[in-house]
Amino acid sequence: MGSPTDHTPSTYFERRFRSRDRDETQEWLAGHYGRVDLGRRFSGYAEHVVGDDRFLLADAAMLGELRCVVDPDVLLVSTGTPGSGWEVGEDTGSFAAEPVVFQPGESSVHRLADTEGRAVAFRIPELTRTARLLYAQEDLELRFDGPRPVNARRAAYWLAALEVARRERRTGALSNDSMRATTYRQLAIAALETFRLVGDRRELRLSAERRARVYRVGAQYLRDHAAAPVTIEDAASAAGASTGELVLAFHSQSDGVGPTAYLRRSRLNGAHDQLTSTGETIRTVAAKWGFSSEAAFVRHYRDEYGADPVGSGA
């Protein structure tokens, strides 16, 4: 399947196309995917693409035959049902056999015949940023050493992540900014872990595992001590990391939510639970959960819950 290239910065994007007309389909495909040839036997084509400035999620169905030469300006991960195949140089394969990655600077040939295709297109700058955060390498260059997955287990990991994303799309959840951000992160990490990046794989894996551990321990510490006068430095120490490493770990593991925002949210959750289960005043609860003033607590509470807090005497 070709490379979806339409892009509306910072906003939700959705595109649908369906046609049984040969000329209309040829024009549509050529306009969006480049060099496309429909075979003699054609009876219909349909596609559905959603996403934003970080990624696009696409499904397509071809009734008939199609040959497409793809020169992507995105990183494209594709799968399909039987009847679909690809070529990159002398390497060939089936989209039905395993997921495959196509990179900018590498021309590939895609052949579809009475088949369905699924693809995720990642914007290179955003995926590079995600990879650098994940692997703690500020100069990491996003390049894979081949089109195939590391192994069958990693291929299954990608397929599982893809199916979760497709389910969210079917329910309409991807129109929500937060859900879309979560879906992007899950797909991005799945792609980075499914295919072999150029470089020391063991070093990258150890780095990713450390980031995950620092985040997990730091987040647990902040949740457990939310009512105490703890600092971000305390959480970093508990995780055996520097403050800077803790911040990077949070940004790589929690959809960009830093430890300061995470601690504030944990305190708001605790304060909310206390207000709804006791007769305490807003001022008392705000002080207990470490807010500098009742006004500051009310402001943050309103931002988090969309309503003012309610307590005794309020």
pLDDT tens string 98-135: 999 999 999 999 999 999 999 999 999 999 998 888 88
Q: State if pTM tops 0.85.
A: no
Domain end: 63, 91, 123, which one? Answer: 123
Domain end: 92, 123, 154, which one? Answer: 123
Q: How deeply is 93 buried, as exposed, middle or buried, from its count of CB atoms within 10 A (0-12, 13-18, 19+)?
A: middle
Of residues 57, 59, 65, 54, the one with CA closest to residue 1: 59
Instruction: Report the CATH number that the domain containing residue 60 is assigned in CATH.
Output: 2.60.120.10
pLDDT tens string 61-88: 999 998 888 888 999 999 999 989 999 9
Residue recorded with tokens 């295919």: 195
Q: What count of Cα atoms within 13 Å lies in the side-chain half-sphere of residue 218? A: 35
Provide the 10 A C-beta neighbour count for residue 267: 21
Tokens standing for residue 245: 């490493």
User: Position 89: which residue type?
Assistant: G
Decide: 253 and 215 in contact? Cβ < 8 Å. yes
What was the pLDDT predicted at 248? 80
Number of domains in the chain: 2
Answer yes or no: do 118 and 24 share one domain: yes
Give Cα separations from 92 to 4, 72, 168, 228 (angstroms).
22, 18, 31, 59
Q: Is residue 8 part of a domain?
A: no
Tokens standing for residue 255: 């959809």
Q: How does residue 313 score in pLDDT terms, banded at 50, 70 and 90? A: low
Decide: 30 and 36 in contact? Cβ < 8 Å. yes
Answer yes or no: do 312 and 217 share one domain: yes
Q: Is residue 296 part of a domain?
A: yes
Q: Is the pLDDT of residue 9 over 80?
A: no
Vertex 73 angle, CA 69 and 79, to 5°: 60
Of residues 208, 226, 228, the one with CA closest to residue 216: 208
Domain end: 82, 107, 123, which one? Answer: 123
pLDDT tens string 270-285: 999 999 888 789 999 9
Structural domain for 71, as ranges: 13-123
Cα torsion 299, 300, 303, 306 to 10°: value is -80
The DSSP result for 62-114, as a single string, is: EEEEEEEEE--SSEEEEEE-TTEEEEETTEEEETTTS-EEE-TT--EEEEEEE
Q: What percent of the chain has pLDDT over 90?
A: 53
User: Position 145: which residue type?
Assistant: D
Answer yes or no: do 312 and 212 share one domain: yes
Decide: 254 and 214 in contact? Cβ < 8 Å. no
What was the pLDDT predicted at 18? 96
Q: What count of Cα atoms within 13 Å lies in the side-chain half-sphere of residue 47? A: 21
pLDDT tens string 174-232: 998 878 988 998 899 899 989 999 876 666 766 778 888 999 999 999 999 999 988 88
What was the pLDDT predicted at 45? 95
Q: Is residue 164 part of a domain?
A: no
